[in-house]
């Protein structure tokens, strides 16, 4: 660049000139200096810019969208030489703000292969984000609101939660205690609900209190409590197989594996021993995830031995009101619970809800509201969860059903993601 400047200046100097041309020469010299300096700065700037990937998120619905998780898979990105996927951050292209994000090792091979974030997108609009490599100290602080773990100190529960709801289910030791007539066991593959009314994590805190005082989490100390009875019912999202008019269910999970916890998602795997549905041998494995801001856990069931599976929500003492929207794909049950009210719901996406069954019986804990789901490629997918009036989220049955309608609409019309 210096050589180019000298050549140009030499040309100007050797040109025939008079007093007027001296002024022109000086002006030209100044212009050349500024132009070359600008080129140099731009070249330096380009050399310092980190490579970026542009993510465009499009909302086709006439409603604002939030608390929906965008998944960016490493396999779908063309990384530059030396670029580390695990160091990418999500940046709003317009405001340059860095968003909360989370990496996941989905296949558990020791390397992260998925990046999660939750954008806010206005109705009928699109927004662009950049995946950038930068200073990790500029990342916003985040809390692991979405948390799950195996709980050996309470027999062998597996519990999970986010900022809205909490759940748990039961392992082989709890089953063995029942089979050997020991106190404190639980025989159920149903899904229990923890009625929390704070947005921060409570699993470790509640179990810790229960170690010091048995049953401490059955009393509400301001954060909520465990007052949801499961028994052998399906609770909120347990499955069954129907044969000859009767429902057959698995027993407690036999193995577990935590995949991820973090600010946006927790996910894990529960395995079950093969079980007998009136002569029909069923194999079952649950992939369960819960995202920030959602009242419903996602269930992806790997199942063989049947083309139809029934996911249910308990009717307890049959004192509540059931409702359904088969077009949208959900069922719901709103019932009194202690000094409050409680809504449970189950949603089947993409019109895979084939029928519903409000199954009532005099047998204890066996009355359930079932959604019949078509198994495709040995997999059934649905969402199940709850809303507790005392948490302040849902005041009425109608507000709970409105939530289910909105959840179904957004899930059946996902955000459109494109990468560049």
- Mean pLDDT across the stretch 104-127? 97
pLDDT surpassing 90 at residue 324: yes
> Which of the four pLDDT bands, split at 50, 70 and 90, describes residue 51?
low
DSSP string, 308-364: EEEEEEE-TTS-SEEEEETTTTEEEEEEEETTEEEEEEEE--TT-EEEEEEE--SST
DSSP string, 217-273: GGS-SSSEE-----TTS-BEEEEEEEETTEEE---SEEEEEEEE-BSSEEEEEEEE-
> Which of the four pLDDT bands, split at 50, 70 and 90, describes residue 193?
very high
Give me 242's structure tokens: 């129907």
Distance between CA 333 and CA 336 in Å, rounded?
A: 10
Which comes out higher in pLDDT, residue 267 or 15? 267
**Three-state DSSP class for 367?**
coil
What integer pLDDT is reported at residue 368 of this predicted model? 98
**Three-state DSSP class for 207?**
helix
Instruction: Say if CB 204 and CB 160 are below 8 A apart.
Output: no
Query: Could you tell me where the beta strands, DSSP code E, fall in 93-245?
Result: 101-104, 114-117, 125-133, 147-151, 157-161, 166-170, 192-196, 224-225, 236-243
> Which of the four pLDDT bands, split at 50, 70 and 90, describes residue 50?
low
- Mean pLDDT across the stretch 304-324? 98
Helices 19-48, 2-14: axis angle to 10 degrees equals 170
Cα 233 from chain centre: 26
pLDDT digit string, tens, across residues 63-115:
999 999 999 999 999 998 889 999 999 999 999 999 999 999 999 999 999 99
Give me 208's structure tokens: 């810790």
pLDDT digit string, tens, across residues 335-377:
999 999 999 999 999 999 999 999 999 999 999 999 999 999 9
> Which of the four pLDDT bands, split at 50, 70 and 90, describes residue 16?
very low
Residue % of the chain over a pLDDT of 70: 87
**Which one-letter DSSP state was computed for residue 49?**
P
Distance between CA 327 and CA 61 in Å, rounded?
A: 18
């Amino acid at each position: 660049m210096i050589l180019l400047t000298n050549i140009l200046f030499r040309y100007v100097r050797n040109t025939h000139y008079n007093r007027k041309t001296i002024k022109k020469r000086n002006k030209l010299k100044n212009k050349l200096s500024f132009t070359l300096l600008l080129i140099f700065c731009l070249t330096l700037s380009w050399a310092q810019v980190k490579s970026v990937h542009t993510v465009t998120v499009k909302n086709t619905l006439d409603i604002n969208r939030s608390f929906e998780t965008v998944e960016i898979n490493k396999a779908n990105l063309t990384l530059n030489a030396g670029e580390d996927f695990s160091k990418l951050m999500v940046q709003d292209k317009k405001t340059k703000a860095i968003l909360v994000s989370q990496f996941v090792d989905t296949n558990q091979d020791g390397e992260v292969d998925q990046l999660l974030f939750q954008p806010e997108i206005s109705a009928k609009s699109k927004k662009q984000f950049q995946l950038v490599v930068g200073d990790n100290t500029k990342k916003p602080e985040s809390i692991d609101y979405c948390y799950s773990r195996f709980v050996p100190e309470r027999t062998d529960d597996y519990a999970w939660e986010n900022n809205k709801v909490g759940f748990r289910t039961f392992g082989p030791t709890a089953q063995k205690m029942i089979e050997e007539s020991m106190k404190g066991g639980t025989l159920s593959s149903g899904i229990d609900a923890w009625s929390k009314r704070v947005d921060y994590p409570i699993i470790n805190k509640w179990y810790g209190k229960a170690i010091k005082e048995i049953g401490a989490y059955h009393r509400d100390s301001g954060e909520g409590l465990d007052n949801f009875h499961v028994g052998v019912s399906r609770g909120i999202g347990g499955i069954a197989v129907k044969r000859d008019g009767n429902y057959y269910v698995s027993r407690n999970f036999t193995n577990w594996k935590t995949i991820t916890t973090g600010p946006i998602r927790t996910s894990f795997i529960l395995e079950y021993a093969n079980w007998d549905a009136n002569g029909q041998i069923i194999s079952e494995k649950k992939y369960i995830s819960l995202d920030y801001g959602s009242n419903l856990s996602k269930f992806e069931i790997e199942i063989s031995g049947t083309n139809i599976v029934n996911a249910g929500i308990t009717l307890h003492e049959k004192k509540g009101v059931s409702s359904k929207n088969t077009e949208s794909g959900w069922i719901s049950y709103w019932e009194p619970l202690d000094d409050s009210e409680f809504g449970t719901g189950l949603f089947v996406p993409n019109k895979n809800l084939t029928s519903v069954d409000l199954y009532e019986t005099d047998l204890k804990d066996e009355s359930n509201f079932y959604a019949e789901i078509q198994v495709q490629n040995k997999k059934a997918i649905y969402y199940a969860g709850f809303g507790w009036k005392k948490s302040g989220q849902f005041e009425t049955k109608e507000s709970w059903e409105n939530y289910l309608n909105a959840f179904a609409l957004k899930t059946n019309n996902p955000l459109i993601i494109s990468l560049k």
